[in-house]
Structure 1
Amino acid sequence: MRILVFLLVTLACSFVFAQKKELNLEAELVVDGIAVGWGMDWLPSGDLLITERSGTLYLWDGQALNEIEGVPAVKSKGQGGLLDVKVHPDFNTNSWIYLSFSRPMTGGEATTAVVRGELRGNKLVDIAEVFRAEPALSTNHHYGSRLVFDKDGYLYVSVGDRGKRDENPQALNNHCGKIHRINDDGSVPQDNPFVGNPIAMQTIYSYGHRNPQGLAIHPETGALWEHEHGPKGGDELNVIQPRKNYGWPVISYGVNYSGTKFTELTAKEGMLQPEVYWVPSIAPSGMDFVTSDKYGALKGDLLIGSLKFGYLHRCDLEGGKVVKEEKFLEGIGRVRSVRQGPDGFVYFTVEGKGVMRLIVQN
């Protein structure tokens, strides 16, 4: 009996050690020929939708890369273009997919918009706009714009401050520098935090954001996690709560690109602190939680792409808090989108390369 207990304890310890040992992660190219793959999502069939920022939506069926017709015109300039893509949770019934993009407006202006369309074969039809950020501006950066559905079917849309930090993020009478929550048809949920406020945009869920390019739902708690670009330093990882103010630009851990300060404050009453902030900036873009068993100790953690330094950034979570951070695949290139696929593998896009799959080498 003692020998059996000893063997069981030894096996358990060996398993824990194996789970904690350093992972040998590599990347393999799955889809090439895509310059800036901004967003990805999967159809129930397993086919992969990929947005290319210049304005093309692709479908990868495992063999061929096909272009989807019917995509709306985009303003592909600066940080603008065709941005995220999201498949409706009930796609098998309605065939809906959603696209966020920089919509060209009159006078050379543009804004962040979201459309819904029915995917029929290789064509998008019956397109309807479900969200448009106001005001439209002539700037060509800080559009956001990630899309994510929660378990209740609400669609969250991130919108950047469009480079107007002193006018937009702290004001409720515009859509910029905010996280928005809408129904799948674009209507406003009646329990949105600013419903009934006569000066507020009714879709606002949280505010005080700079340029949020990461949204993900925690698989266990259902909480909405977000990351956003800071200026020079001060990139943030946040857990989003309704009606809360995340501080930009009143509080920040960053400075102007010239090195001068725009605020002396890193904290203020009534403004939430980030879960993590990065100085220097890593330029985060895209993220997802790892829920599969394919990556051992990474299960339950958050993977984030780094544009600036070109790697996958791991946030090790315990009890809903980040307890450790780690870098993988340093030098791989500008990681733009990170998603776990239905097969349990993590996929990510690298600018100038295409879509890559994260694999474990034994």
Structure 2
Amino acid sequence: MALAVDYRIETLAEGLDHPWSLAFLPGGGMLVTERVGRLRLIDADGTLREAPVAGVPEVFVGGQAGLFEVALAPDHPDSGWVYLSYACGTRAANTTCLDRARFDGRRLVARETLFRAEPDRQGRSHYGGRLTFLPDDTLVLGLGDGFDYREQAQNPGNHLGSLVRLTPAGSVPGDNPFVAASEARAELYSIGHRNIQGVVFDETRSELLIHEHGPRGGDELNRILPGANYGWPLVTHGVDYTGARVTPFTELPGFEPPVLHWTPSIAPSGMTVYDGERFPEWRGDLFVAALAARQVRRLIREDGEIVGQEALFTELDERIRDVRSGPDGALYLLTDSAAGRVLRVMPAP
């Protein structure tokens, strides 16, 4: 197991209203979403543009609802495509939507909605929203169970509590695992999730990993297999917020068990595989941002298997919404508050 690493934390940008996700632009700089429905541009020199990026879709904001992920298409330098996930609709009828648009350096243009999770629901909780691209250029988008609709996570006839897989244009890939099932939604890639908040594809191990919130306890890290069922709410290591049991089962035949679970909850949000050169001791490890635990959890891996955990950046005493491995080899953090910051973690001098 690697020894402790010396680092310093720099504030790159501040004054952001609940920043949720960031994407690194090929020419330097980055795009950052604010949950309140704004997309912000940070220039290559670290300057936060005062005016938000124009052309963002209308976002339903409230509670956990808002603007979520920003991700660049794999061919972004040529196509200019940027993908946004967000809560859409009204408090009485809302869901998770996915759009794409071209970013011209100032605004989003040619925006189109690619996917709208069904059905609409009431409330303002459990939207998922994290996405990533796979090596075949398809994308996967994590969704939530809508909180009050948790039993529907076992129903393949809707999108609640699932991971969906789409082509870059939003259509259904022909090899999706539920395509031939008449009672299932063809977009589904896996089911039985509670609220997916981290999605990464580990290119070295060729595996898709997600993490999701449990209730009180039972946050999970899962290795995704196409067509698999991850059990929520029939199996969980957590209990309801009242203390009542959700289910007596932590495992059952036919359901994929988690790689690990966090009980008590850390409230994971955002995840990255560190692949930079600045921290060689961290290469290949998973980094999980944590809201309730107010830290980043480093999952130490050997041959792809998790052999230990380390709590990092607790000195910040802030809810961490996202963590990213940057193209410059630094680690980037988003703090979750009305005065949120973009932080850059560099080796100590």
State whether TM-score is above 0.5.
yes
Q: Distance in 1 between matches of 2:8 and 2:191?
A: 37
RMSD: 1.3
Q: CA deviation at 1:315?
A: 0.3
The answer on whether the counterparts of 2:150 and 2:194 sit within 8 Å (CA) in structure 1 is no
1:295 partnered with 2:282: no
Q: Look up the match of 2:331.
A: 346
TM-score, L = length of structure 2: 0.96
1:217 aligns with 2:201: yes
Q: Report the CA distance between 1:204 and its aligned residue.
A: 0.4
Deviations 1:68-102 (A, max 9, x none): 10101111111000000000110121110000000
Secondary structure in 1 aligned to 2:20?
Answer: strand
CA contact (8 A) 1:160 1:210 kept: yes
* Corresponding residue for residue 153 of structure 1: 137
Structure 2 residue aligned with 1:315, among 275, 290, 299? 299
Per-residue deviation, 1:28: 1.3
Q: Which of 276, 280, 286 in structure 1 is aligned with 2:260?
A: 276
Overall identity of the aligned pairs, in %: 38
d(CA) in 1 for partners of 2:105, 2:276: 30
Q: Deviations 1:220-243 (Å, cap 9, x if unpaired)?
A: 022111000000000000111100
Q: Offset at 1:163?
A: 0.8
Give the C-alpha shift of residue 286 in structure 1: 0.2
1:233-281, Cα deviation, whole Å (9 max, x unpaired): 0000011110000010000000011111121000000101111100100
Q: Which of the residues 168, 173, 187 maps onto 1:184? A: 168
CA contact (8 A) 1:227 1:284 kept: yes
Distance 1:63 1:209 in 2: 37
Instruction: Give the paired residue count.
Output: 343
**Which runs of structure 2 are paired with 1:257-268 in the superposition (5 Å)?**
257-268=241-252
For residues 231 and 99 of structure 2, the distance between their equivalents in structure 1, rounded to whole angstroms, comes to 29
Matched-pair contact (CA < 8 Å) for 2:13–2:46? no
Aligned to 1:88: 73
Greater Cα radius of gyration, structure 1 or 2: 1
Is the contact made by 1:25 and 1:328 (CA closer than 8 Å) also made in structure 2?
no
Letter in structure 1 aligned against 2:39: L
The reply to whether residue 64 of structure 1 matches residue 47 of structure 2 is yes
Is the 1:26–1:329 Cα contact (8 Å) retained in structure 2? no
Aligned to 2:35: 53
In structure 2, the residue matched to 1:226 is: 210
Query: Whole-Å Cα distance in 1 between the matches of residues 105 and 2 of structure 2?
Result: 45
CA distance in 1, matches of 2:238, 2:196: 15
Q: Identify the residue that residue 304 of structure 1 maps to in structure 2.
A: 288
Partner of 1:22: 4
Mapped partners of 1:239, 1:323: distance in 2: 16
Q: How does 1:321-332 map to 2 (within 5 A)?
A: 321-332=305-316
Residue ranges of structure 1 left out of the alignment (5+ in a row): 1-18
Residues of 2 paired with 1:128 and 1:217: CA distance? Answer: 25
Q: Does the Cα contact within 8 Å between 2:87 and 2:94 map onto a contact in 1?
A: yes
Q: In 2, distance between residues paired with 1:25 and 1:328?
A: 10
SS at match of 1:92: helix
Aligned equivalents of 1:44, 1:343: Cα separation in 2: 11
How far, CA to CA, are the matches of 1:353 and 1:173 in structure 2?
38
Q: Does 1:101 align with 2:86?
A: yes
SS at match of 1:33: strand
If the length of structure 1 is used for normalisation, what is the TM-score? 0.92
Deviation at 1:109? 1.5
Deviation of residue 165 (structure 1)?
4.3
> Which amino acid is 2:192 matched to?
G
SS in 2 for 1:297: helix
CA distance in 1, matches of 2:114, 2:275: 30
Q: Is the 8 A contact 2:92 2:123 kept in 1?
A: no
Deviation at 1:64, TM superposition (A): 2.6
**Of the candidates 13, 16, 20, which is equivalent to residue 38 of structure 1?**
20
AA paired with 2:275?
T
Q: Secondary structure at the residue paired with 1:243?
A: coil
**Which of 120, 124, 142 is the equivalent residue of 1:136?**
120
Encode CA deviations 1:151-206: one digit per residue, 9 max, x unaligned.
11011100000113443110001111000100000010000000021111111000
Question: Hey, which bits of structure 1, 4+ residues long, moved more than 4 A?
Answer: none
Report if aligned partners of 2:151, 2:233 keep a CA contact under 8 Å in 1: no
Report if aligned partners of 2:55, 2:108 keep a CA contact under 8 Å in 1.
Answer: yes
CA distance in 2, matches of 1:121, 1:227: 32
Unaligned runs of 5+ in 2: none
1:8 aligned residue: none
Equivalent in 210, 225, 229 of residue 245 of structure 1: 229
1:335 to 2:320 alignment:
yes
